[in-house]
């Protein structure tokens, strides 16, 4: 088992009808009682959550900032930063999925930053966020785990860029996880959520045997639960028990717990972000495109864990090669069962050069040896993308 350190200060309030707690929690965090209420494109207006929140917060001065798009855009978020500064808020409430929550994480850091916050996302020498506003979240889409972690992904369409940021300053102070929000999710977003949580788990599991039996079993528990509930939930999004299980799985998949003491391989996410940056393909779908091809490419390096995964999660029999191969096939079929196609050309007419372009980007960023064994080289990145077209 590898050494590790973990802290997760986010308070989780799980379940339905809990919003009475919202003003109580914010009061502790916002002495000025001036808060920015950030949300996305309007789903919370359609399902009534917007009105409910305003009712609960009637003793606060609320400054609204709607319109944060999926794959939150730097330019939009900077408008929110300027609004928050002009209105001198001391707290931000993020209501939405990963995009709104990530966007708010960025805004809380950019609020205090003196230079161009894009430099922080580019990791220019010495550019970091040193301070942040406090913020809390009300999650409306179980998928990313952003409600319980300190990472964020910010996009800039005009540059075809999607960049990550994070650090201890960016844990939400609290997150409300109410599974009833799932009932209004379009099937596409629900399937995305299942696949994103599934892939967060696999990226911290499909490496080599870690000797951390607890963490490996916990990963397998999440995978098995998602396989069990996923297809039924997309058919009945109003089923509270299924929705609650997805929500709790998605949070656990990326709240820091699964990475304790184990090797990880986030290459599928790294390549996937490029596909979103270039083609706007939904985040989870990029993972479904890349993962099966990456597992095939890294078959020998990941074989022991593929076999463990195949036997324990998919209950497969056979020799090691058969089980490992079938485990990859089962994974791809699971994505397809959720109506998530697994090739780039299913979504767009890709440039024949895309594999080379992504390889070149990785090279420019110095990402030349990836994966748990540093065995995924630039040539592999190019092959994986080419095979995924």
Binds ligand NZQ by CB under 6 A, chosen from 254, 260, 288, 313: 254
Question: CA 245 to CA 182: how far, in whole Å?
Answer: 11
Given the complex with ligand NZQ, which of 96 and 117 has the nearer CB atom? 96
> Can you tell me whether residue 387 is helix, strand or coil?
helix
Strand arrangement of the beta sheet that strand 34-39 belongs to:
11-14, 174-177, 134-139, 91-96, 34-39, 61-65
Tell me, by CB under 6 A, how many residues bind ligand NZQ.
Answer: 33
Torsion-angle region of 139 (φ positive above 0: left; ψ -120 to 50: alpha; else: beta): beta
Q: Which stretch binds ligand NZQ (CB under 6 A): 81-89, 128-136, 138-146, 356-364?
A: 138-146
Given the complex with ligand NZQ, which of 26 and 153 has the nearer CB atom? 153
Q: Which stretch binds ligand NZQ (CB under 6 A): 2-10, 189-197, 298-306, 315-323?
A: 189-197
- Give the H or E element holding residue 354: helix 354-365
Q: Residue 27 Cβ, how far from ligand NZQ at the closest point, in Å?
A: 26
Site for ligand NZQ, residues 268 to 287, rule: CB under 6 A: 269, 283
Taking the CB of residue 363, how many other CB atoms lie within 10 A of it?
A: 12
Question: CA 358 to CA 49: how far, in whole Å?
Answer: 40
Q: Is 201 in the site for ligand NZQ (CB under 6 A)?
A: no
Given the complex with ligand NZQ, which of 252 and 283 has the nearer CB atom? 283
Beta-sheet pairing, 11-14 with 134-139 = unpaired
Smallest CA-to-CA distance from 143 within 186, 199, 196 is with 196
Binds ligand NZQ by CB under 6 A, chosen from 108, 146, 234, 257: 146
Q: Residue 209 Cβ, how far from ligand NZQ at the closest point, in Å?
A: 24
Q: Is 80 in the site for ligand NZQ (CB under 6 A)?
A: no
Q: Residue 176 Cβ, how far from ligand NZQ at the closest point, in Å?
A: 12
Give the chain's length. 389
Given the complex with ligand NZQ, which of 196 and 380 has the nearer CB atom? 196
Binds ligand NZQ by CB under 6 A, chosen from 149, 267, 331, 342: 149
CB contact set of 191 (below 8 Å; sequence gap of 6+): 230, 234, 284, 338, 339, 340
Binds ligand NZQ by CB under 6 A, chosen from 145, 179, 237, 256: 145
x/- binding map, residues 153-182, to ligand NZQ, per CB under 6 A? Answer: x---------------------------x-
Binding partner selected for residue 10 from ligand NZQ, Zn ion, none, CB under the kind-specific 5 to 8 Å limit: none
> Which residues contact Zn ion (rule: CB under 5 A)?
196
Question: CA 154 to CA 236: how far, in whole Å?
Answer: 32
Q: Residue 149 Cβ, how far from ligand NZQ at the closest point, in Å?
A: 5
User: Please, is 230 exposed, middle or buried when counting C-beta atoms within 10 Å of its C-beta (0-12, 13-18, 19+)?
Assistant: buried
Cα torsion 80, 82, 87, 90: sign: positive
Given the complex with Zn ion, which of 30 and 99 has the nearer CB atom? 99
What secondary structure does DSSP assign to 208-257, as a single string? S--S-HHHHHHHHHHHHHHHHHHHHHHH-TT-HHHHHHHHHHHHHHTSSS
Query: Applying CB under 6 A, which residues contact ligand NZQ?
Result: 40-44, 47, 70-71, 96-100, 102, 140-141, 143-146, 149, 151-153, 181, 184-185, 189, 192, 196, 254, 269, 283
């Amino acid at each position: 088992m590898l050494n590790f350190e973990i802290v997760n200060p986010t308070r989780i309030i799980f379940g339905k009808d809990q919003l009475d707690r919202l003003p109580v929690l914010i009061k502790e965090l916002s002495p000025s009682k001036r808060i920015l209420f950030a949300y996305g494109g309007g789903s919370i207006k359609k399902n009534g959550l917007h009105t409910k929140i305003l009712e609960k917060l009637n003793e606060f001065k609320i400054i609204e900032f709607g319109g944060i798009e999926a794959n939150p855009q730097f330019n939009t978020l900077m408008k929110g930063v300027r609004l928050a500064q002009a209105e001198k808020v001391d707290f931000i409430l993020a209501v939405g999925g990963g995009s709104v929550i990530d966007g708010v994480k960025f805004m809380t850091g950019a609020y205090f930053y003196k230079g161009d916050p894009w430099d922080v996302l580019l990791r220019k020498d010495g550019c970091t966020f040193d301070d942040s506003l406090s913020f809390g979240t009300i999650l409306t889409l179980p998928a990313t785990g952003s409600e319980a972690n300190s990472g964020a992904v910010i996009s800039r369409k005009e540059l075809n860029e999607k960049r990550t940021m994070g650090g201890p300053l960016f844990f939400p102070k609290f997150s409300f996880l109410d599974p009833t929000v799932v009932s209004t999710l379009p099937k596409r977003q629900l399937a995305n959520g299942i696949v994103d949580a599934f892939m967060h788990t696999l990226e911290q599991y499909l490496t080599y045997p870690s000797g951390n039996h607890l963490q490996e079993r916990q990963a397998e528990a999440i995978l098995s639960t998602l396989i069990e509930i996923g297809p039924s939930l997309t058919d009945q999004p109003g089923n509270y028990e299924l929705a609650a299980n997805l929500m709790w799985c998605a949070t656990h998949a990326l709240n820091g717990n699964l990475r304790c003491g184990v090797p990880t391989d986030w290459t599928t996410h790294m390549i996937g972000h490029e596909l979103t940056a270039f083609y706007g393909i939904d985040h989870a779908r990029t993972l479904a495109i890349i993962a099966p091809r990456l597992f095939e490419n890294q078959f020998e390096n990941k074989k022991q864990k593929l076999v463990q995964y195949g036997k324990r999660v998919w209950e497969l029999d056979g020799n090691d090669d058969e089980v490992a191969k079938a485990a990859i096939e089962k994974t791809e079929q699971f994505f397809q069962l959720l109506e998530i196609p697994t090739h780039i050309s299913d979504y767009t007419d890709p440039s024949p050069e895309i594999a080379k372009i992504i390889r070149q980007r990785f090279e420019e960023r110095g990402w030349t040896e990836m994966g748990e064994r540093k065995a995924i080289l630039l040539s592999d990145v190019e092959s994986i993308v080419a095979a995924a077209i």
